Every structure is written in C-alpha cells, then in structure tokens.
Amino acid sequence: MSVLKYIDKVLKQTAKSSPGQVEFYQAAEEVLHSLKPLLERETKYDEYNILERIVVPERTIIFRVSWVDDNGIIQTNLGYRVQFNSAIGPYKGGLRFHPSVNLGIIKFLGFEQIFKNSLTGLNIGGGKGGSNFDPKGKSENEIMRFCQSFMVELSRYIGERRDVPAGDIGVGGRELGFMFGQYKKLTGTFEGILTGKGLNWGGSLGRTEATGFGSVYFAEHILNKYGDSLKGKTCAVSGSGNVATYTIQKLLDLDALPVTCSDSQGTIYHKSGIDLEALKAVKEIGRKRLTEYVKLCPDAEYIPLSKYPKDGHVCWHIPCDCAFPSATQNELTLTDAKALVKNGCKLVNEGANMPSTPEAIEYLKAHKVLFGPAKAANAGGVATSQLEMSQNASMSNWSFAEVDAKLHSIMKNIFNISYETAKEYGCDGDLLVGANIAGFKKVADSMIDQGSV
Ligand code: NDP
Ligand code: 2IT
C-alpha cells in the first residue's frame, strides 16, 4: 500500500470511530500527513500497525463531577482523563477547566502531548484531562468544592509513576492546591501526583514561568538560525493567562517590544509596550478582565470582540515582526495569517496548543514566514513539570537558575532535533515536520520494542 493510502486509511478509521471530534481529527491529520517522508523511508511502522494504534488512547476515563454551589444546589459537570500513550513513560499532561471542554478537545490535547513530551527528550508519556466546568464567576469556595469532587474520581487513576496531571486553561496554582489537598486526604500520602504545585508543598521554582519563557527561548533559536534575534522586535501576543504573561515577561527581558495581549472578551493594544506589572496586577493577582488594564495604563487601547475582523483575532491585524499565539486552539485563522503576512510578520511561534488553523499554517509557509510549531515551542512547560517530578523523587529542591538553565538546554535540544530531522527528511527549515517526525519516532520505536500492547 502506498504511504498516502496508508495514512488516508487510518484517518478514515479515525473519523469513523471518533465522530464529531473535530479538533482531535485536525490534530491527527496534521501529524499523520507530516509523517509521510518518514513512512516512505521506513516500512516498519506500517508493518507493526503503529498509526492504527497511536491514534487510539490506551484508556479514556469519563466521570460525573457533582458538587454543591453556594446556594446549596447540586451541580453536575463532566470530568475527563485520556491516558493516551505510555510507551516512553507515565502519562503526563495538564487539566483544562473550560465550558468548551469535550472528549474531542481532550483527545486532541492528549494526542499532541504524546509527541511534545517525546520531543523534550525526557521519559514522559502523553495524557490530558479536564472538565466542562466554567471557573468564571464562581466563588473561591465553589472552585474548591468542584476541585475536591473532581479529585475524588481522578484519584483512582493517577500516581507518581502512573499518571501525573498539571495545569492548563482554567487550572493554575490555586486549583492544583485544592486538588492536591484532596488527594492527600483521600490517600493519606504526600506524593508528587501533580506538577505545578506551590513552592511550599513540592513545587519547582521556574514551573510557573516555564511555558512562556521556553516559548521565547525557542523563538530566539529560530531567529538566531537565520542570523536575527528578538531584540528590538515588535511582538503581538494573544491571551493573558499563564503562557501569555511569561511570554511577555521574557520578551521584555530580551529587549523585544510586546504590544498586545487578550482575553476571551477583548484585546489590549499598548503601542509603547505591555506594562508587565499592570498586566499581573489585573490578571494574575486580581483575576479581573482586561478592561481594568486600561484604567492602570490610559495610553493603551482596549479593542472589544465586537470590533474584531470577521473570522479573525484583532491581535494579528496589529503590525508586528513576531506573533505569539498563547491563548487557545484555532485562534489564528487564514484571515489572520493574511494580515500578518501583509504587515511583514517574520515569525509565528505557537505558545498555545494548535493555535493556528491548517489553512493559516499553509499560508504562512507559502509566504516564508518562520514557524515555531506548538509541540516544540510550548514544550518548556511540561519539560519543567518533569524537572519537578525529578526533584520530588529525589526529595531535593533546585534553584531557579538551575531549573532555568535546564529549560534553556531542553529548548535548544528541541530546536536542534526539529531542525536536523526536517533536514534529514528533505524538508529543510520545516520545523513542524521535523518536530512531528522526531517526536513520533521515539514513541513508535518504543511501541515496537514493547510488542503488541
Ligand atoms: P490560562 O487559563 O492561564 O489563560 C488562558 C488565556 O487564553 C486567557 O487569557 C483566556 O481568556 C484565553 N482564552 C482561553 N480560551 C479562550 C477562548 N476559547 N477564546 C478566547 N480566549 C480564550 O491558560 P494557559 O495560559 O495555561 O494556556 C494557554 C494556552 O497554552 C492553551 O492552549 C494551553 O493548552 C497552552 N499550554 C499551556 C501550558 C501551561 O503550562 N500552562 C503548557 C503548554 C501549552 P479568558 O480569561 O477570558 O478565558
Ligand atoms: O499543554 C501542556 O503541555 C500543558 N498544559 C502542561 C502539561 C504539564 O504536564 O506540565
């Protein structure tokens, strides 16, 4: 069977067995198509039915989460944990709490996580979980009760050598604390079953900053390869959560000029540069909307959703040299890619998971915009989670400088392996293909070694 026929056969089976899971199908289609140069050279993946196996999670857990709101009413949400692939290590990946969460979204994230985790060079398998619970507008006590209820079920399936969840959209230090406390109460043990923990109770210095910092280190490696750097570059950033905030912080450290950030209601355009302290005061500390930012920085502009271009995100229509989508999936569309190209953007570096649509990626590629694919560019977060696991296992605490140095070296390795693999397979400069092939090979070869499991 030709390679294309093999890929199409598996994608057809995937569509049939995962009806309506559009984000998962999108992720699978991208990965499988990008493996073409590898599959043309190596027939073993076909012989061992690796593609058929790798698109199916090893285990999918869906559970009810009932919790009591502040009015004494019992509310019900759905909880998920998809344990996708454990060929190279225990399942590892975040938990997302957002009303849009469904099985297809968790499967897309878990599937991406397999290859991302492999790229870090560390021994971590791929998993993801979450809930359609909406933390917005909930009191602290409601969030605590939800997290406790969620952990009652999740606790049956996790373990420091089994499955180690972390944060993602809507899940940060506060939520992880409530979940960790509940796990401890349920089991009577103090174990590193989550990462992103507080510094007083087993967390690692540098984990909070890691995804954003790592994303910027990755972007800097790309630019350096082409004889350029971030210094002096105007940068558009979307999102204003964990990844966006620390992307902005590192861009400022490197003398770049981040001029935007956004939340689900609107975008800030601050031409003289985002004020990091104001952003943290509003979002990280205050947990408020970005409309508050302009009260602290009156020279900044707030652009509400109603003024966004049709099918687009206004962030990408503001002239920039480099774009850092750091909010959510499919937030950078073809319309946006066209605006970026028109305004002379040189680099798109994906801090979020799958933020660019396939059409946008194709357009950026055709117009020679440098591209840092999500699996590589945002892998610094999960890599630092593994550093947290290492510290927990050895009962030690590393300094911020030590963790940051390791993060630097991991991001450099991820860039090198993505770049070199692309070259080896005749796709010079295509980091997306390079990252997908490099991430896949290690997992697929391990699956072959481990037999028909
Ligand atoms: P946060 O919850 O801290 O922040 C998310 C940000 O994105 C918020 O500004 C939020 O706005 C915005 N956002 C979320 N959903 C939507 C949506 N549907 N439409 C528009 N805006 C939206 O999450 P993180 O910063 O942790 O995660 C951001 C991205 O990075 C996600 O794709 C995540 O999967 C990815 N990622 C995260 C890692 C981590 O370590 N945290 C590691 C690797 C990737 P609002 O507050 O209005 O909802
Ligand atoms: O998408 C991701 O890589 C994360 N949300 C972080 C996962 C982790 O285990 O730190």
Sequence-distant (≥ 6) Cβ neighbours of residue 18 within 8 angstroms: 24, 25, 104, 107
Structure tokens at 115: 């290859």
Q: Do residues 261 and 279 lie in contact, with contact meaning Cβ atoms separated by under 8 Å?
A: yes
The beta strands (E) that lie in 20-174 are given as 59-68, 74-85, 91-97, 125-131, 163-166
- pLDDT digit string (tens) for 15-48? 999 999 999 999 999 999 999 999 999 999 999 9
Q: Is the pLDDT at 395 greater than 90, yes or no?
A: yes
The Å distance, Cα 44 to ligand 1 centre, comes to 38
Cα-flanking dihedrals φ and ψ of residue 430, to 5°? Answer: -90, 90
- pLDDT digit string (tens) for 138-168? 999 999 999 999 999 999 999 999 999 999 9
| Ligand 2 nearest-atom number relative to CA 353 | 1
Q: What band does 236 get if pLDDT is binned at 50, 70 and 90?
A: very high
Ligand 2: residues within 6 Å at CB? Answer: 92-94, 113, 116, 166, 168, 195, 353, 381-382, 385
The Å distance, Cα 299 to ligand 2 centre, comes to 35
The Å distance, Cα 262 to ligand 1 centre, comes to 10
The Å distance, Cα 392 to ligand 2 centre, comes to 17
Q: Whose CA is nearest to atom 17 of ligand 1?
A: 264
Q: What is the pLDDT of residue 453?
A: 87
Share of the chain above pLDDT 70, in %: 100
Q: What is the pLDDT of residue 1?
A: 80
Q: Do residues 168 and 381 lie in contact, with contact meaning Cβ atoms separated by under 8 Å?
A: no
**Rounded to a whole number, what is the distance in angstroms from the first to the last CA of the chain?**
24
Q: What is the pLDDT of residue 25?
A: 98
Ligand nearest to the CA of 134: 1
**Exposure of 429 by Cβ count < 10 A (0-12 exposed, 13-18 middle, 19+ buried)?**
middle
Taking the C-alpha atoms of residue 105 and residue 94, their distance in angstroms, rounded to an integer, is 12
DSSP-derived letter for residue 309 is P
**0.85 exceeded by the pTM?**
yes
- pLDDT digit string (tens) for 410-426? 999 999 999 999 999 99
Taking the C-alpha atoms of residue 340 and residue 422, their distance in angstroms, rounded to an integer, is 25
Average pLDDT, the chain: 98
Taking the C-alpha atoms of residue 195 and residue 160, their distance in angstroms, rounded to an integer, is 10
The 3-state DSSP class for residue 151 equals helix
Domains and CATH numbers, the chain: 59-190 (3.40.50.10860), 210-368 (3.40.50.720)
- pLDDT digit string (tens) for 273-312? 999 999 999 999 999 999 999 999 999 999 999 999 999 9
- pLDDT digit string (tens) for 83-119? 999 999 999 999 999 999 999 999 999 999 999 999 9
- pLDDT digit string (tens) for 187-224? 999 999 999 999 999 999 999 999 999 999 999 999 99
Active-site choice (128, 233, 441, 442): 128
Taking the C-alpha atoms of residue 302 and residue 314, their distance in angstroms, rounded to an integer, is 11
| Ligand 2 nearest-atom number relative to CA 379 | 3
Structure tokens at 362: 């194709």
- pLDDT digit string (tens) for 341-377? 999 999 999 999 999 999 999 999 999 999 999 999 9
Q: What is the pLDDT of residue 269?
A: 98
Verify whether residue 128 is a known catalytic residue.
Answer: yes
Taking Cα atoms as reference points, which of 327, 328, 329, 303 lies closest to residue 317? 303
Sequence-distant (≥ 6) Cβ neighbours of residue 303 within 8 angstroms: 266, 267, 268, 269, 314
- Angle of the 103-119 helix axis to the 22-34 helix axis, nearest 10: 30
Structure tokens at 181: 């406390």
